[in-house]
């Protein structure tokens, strides 16, 4: 994930991919759009999940179940540790916050990059096949 890539560069890459797709034969173009429509994720939904739910549920939306499980486990351990009075869990919580803050503020861009990467994979598969 290129979190700090400019939005303009992402838009250029998306436009380049659209141009490449338009050059495909009609059957491959149809297959590309059919496969793409079933796999793309809505950036607004991802952003909403990111803003309103703790524990990394937004990772599930993009299919990153391992990352979700790790984040949820760390958050659960931290909360239990706080309840039991272990102050050392503040380190885990701080790391989670520092990891999640950029994802929170760049959530729409992250979803668009995810969609672009998926679209590139689909394009390469369709072009080969």
Residue among 128, 121, 110 nearest 35 (CA)? 121
Query: What is this structure's pTM?
Result: 0.86
pLDDT at 114: 95
If phi over 0 gives left and psi between -120 and 50 gives alpha, with beta otherwise, what is residue 85?
left
Read off the tokens for 15.
Answer: 């436009």
Residues 6 or more apart from 19 whose CB is under 8 A from it? none
- For residue 1, pLDDT beyond 70: no
CB atoms within 10 A of CB 57: 14
Read off the tokens for 101.
Answer: 């803050």
- For residue 32, pLDDT beyond 90: yes
pLDDT at 5: 79
Q: Is 47:107 a contact under the CB 8 Å cutoff?
A: yes
Task: Round to whole Å and give the CA distance between 59 and 71.
Answer: 9
Q: By mean pLDDT, which of 3-12, 16-25, 41-50, 92-101 is the weakest?
A: 3-12
CA dihedral 76, 54, 6, 8 (to 10 degrees): 150
- For residue 2, pLDDT beyond 80: no
């Amino acid at each position: 994930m290129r979190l700090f890539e400019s939005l303009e560069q992402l838009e250029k890459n998306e436009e380049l991919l659209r141009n490449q797709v338009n050059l495909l034969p009609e059957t491959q173009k149809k297959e590309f759009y059919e496969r793409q429509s079933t796999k793309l994720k809505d950036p607004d939904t991802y952003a909403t999940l990111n803003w309103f739910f703790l524990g990394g549920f937004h990772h599930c939306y993009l299919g990153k179940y391992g990352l979700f499980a790790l984040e949820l486990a760390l958050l659960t351990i931290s909360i239990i540790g706080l309840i039991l009075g272990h102050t050392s869990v503040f380190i885990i919580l701080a790391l989670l916050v520092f990891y999640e803050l950029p994802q929170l503020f760049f959530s729409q861009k992250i979803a668009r990059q995810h969609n672009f990467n998926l679209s590139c994979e689909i394009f390469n598969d369709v072009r080969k096949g």
